[in-house]
Amino acid sequence: MTTAQTTAARRVSYQLHTLWDFDYEPTHQDLLTLYETAKKNQWNGSTAIDWSRPVGKEGPVLNVQTAFQGTQFFSRLTEEEQKEVEIRVSAWRLSQFLHGEQGALLVASQLVNPIPELDSKLYASTQVVDEGRHVEVFERYVKKLHKIYPVDPLLKGLIDEILASELWELKLLGMQMLIEGLAIAAFNLMRRQTGDPTLADLLDYVLQDEGRHVNFGYFALRRSIPLMGDPTRAFLEDFALKACDAMYARDEHTGFQSIKGVWNEMGWDGEAIFRDTITNSQTVKAFNRLLFTEVLIPRLQRLGLISPRVEPRYREIGLLD
Ligand SMILES: [Fe+2]
Ligand SMILES: [Fe+2]
């Protein structure tokens, strides 16, 4: 790829309407409380985490025994190959978190402009700092562990669509609800599986912040969706459906496919291992259950975004009974 093409692939163009709020009247107590909590719970990525420890030496970064339990390929690997898988798959996964954090930083900074009320703007300003810190700590960790893998095309595509939209409601739905919902579920799973104290500390700190971000999205959308016109609501419903459909890994066309590159890099058949993992890994099944049936779908239902119009499609995919 030439430099010009690379730059084009990185660039996202959009138009944003910036709103001032000259009322200076507190409007939402829930957001003011969240803003206070955000100010109180700031932490410094350089000092809160002990970076002097060697990464991945005190315990597995990702417990691959658990993560790939049930798959056919994993039981055939030697001990050295298993260690190699642990480092590379962890680096790939954490790289996606890193790119997602950068996406969250970009979206949070956009949100300060179009979101109507001052308490929302103030809260959004704290999310900008939070996400900056998340980029910092994930970048530091991944570089210490191995290397930064490229952004997954599905992740990049979703974030670009969120960035390019002029609707602040779509930014909140796409980032705070769906992508951060996915991130929290993945961070929690990784936190339970890791034996590495540096990663455990990092995830504990990041998770504290992420909980607030999801609440921000939920509080703001819960108020705005009932007041929305039908075409805008339908647009949000369609985006949520499309994102869930793409992220729900269930065949060779869905899920974050760029992991195949890690398997190919090791000289193995990326397509076959991808299929083996989504079909047989108990962790993948448990993760999908947790993410979709326990977190995302109930949240979308509470927000009124699974209307009778889109409900049949959720059933077809297998995300609703
Ligand atoms: Fe974050
Ligand atoms: Fe976040």
DSSP 37-105: HHHHT---HHHHS-TTSPTTSSS-SS-HHHHTTT-TTGGG--HHHHHHHHHHHHHHHHHHHHHHHHHHH
pLDDT in tens, 83-105: 999 999 999 999 999 999 999 99
φ/ψ region of 152 (left if φ > 0, alpha if ψ in -120 to 50, else beta) reads: beta
Q: Among all chains, which residue has been given the structure tokens 């109930």?
A: 298
pLDDT reported for residue 9: 77
Domain 29-42+56-317 is found in CATH 3.30.1490.190: no
CA 152 to ligand 2 centroid distance, Å = 18
Look up residue 256 and give its two tokens.
């974050």
Residue type (1 letter), 187: F
Ligand at minimal distance from the CA of 215 is 2
pLDDT in tens, 37-73: 999 999 999 999 999 999 988 999 999 999 999 999 9
Going by C-alpha positions, the residue among 186, 162, 188 that lies closest to residue 173 is: 162
CA 207 to ligand 2 centroid distance, Å = 9
CA 172 to ligand 1 centroid distance, Å = 14
CA 3 to ligand 2 centroid distance, Å = 31
Ligand at minimal distance from the CA of 124 is 2
pLDDT in tens, 270-292: 999 999 999 999 999 989 989 99
CA 171 to ligand 1 centroid distance, Å = 15
Ligand at minimal distance from the CA of 187 is 1
Q: Give one DSSP letter per residue of 275-292, joined into a string.
A: HHHHHH-HHHHHHHIIII
The residues, ordered by sequence, that sit 6+ positions from 233 with a Cβ below 8 Å of its Cβ are 225, 304, 305, 307
26 confidence band (pLDDT: 50, 70, 90): confident
Look up residue 136 and give its two tokens.
């910092």
Ligand at minimal distance from the CA of 134 is 1
Residue type (1 letter), 309: R
CA 80 to ligand 2 centroid distance, Å = 35
CA 209 to ligand 1 centroid distance, Å = 7
Ligand at minimal distance from the CA of 179 is 2
Residues 222, 249, 285, 237, Cα dihedral to 10°: 20
Ligand at minimal distance from the CA of 100 is 1
Is residue 1 predicted with pLDDT exceeding 60?
no
CA 98 to ligand 1 centroid distance, Å = 9
C-alpha count within 13 angstroms, C-beta hemisphere, residue 228: 22
Contact between residue 138 and residue 98 where contact means Cβ atoms under 8 Å apart: yes
pLDDT in tens, 153-197: 999 999 999 999 999 999 999 999 999 999 999 999 999 999 999
321 confidence band (pLDDT: 50, 70, 90): confident
CA 269 to ligand 2 centroid distance, Å = 34
CA 132 to ligand 2 centroid distance, Å = 10
Tell me which residues have their CB within 5 A of the ion that is ligand 1.
101, 104, 131, 134
For residue 230, how many other CB atoms are within 10 A of its CB? 8
| CA 197 from centre of chain | 22
CA 180 to ligand 2 centroid distance, Å = 6
CA 132 to ligand 1 centroid distance, Å = 8
Residue type (1 letter), 219: F
What distance in Å separates the CA atoms of residue 177 and residue 179, rounded to the nearest whole number?
A: 6
CA 217 to ligand 1 centroid distance, Å = 13
What distance in Å separates the CA atoms of residue 197 and residue 200, rounded to the nearest whole number?
A: 5
254 confidence band (pLDDT: 50, 70, 90): very high
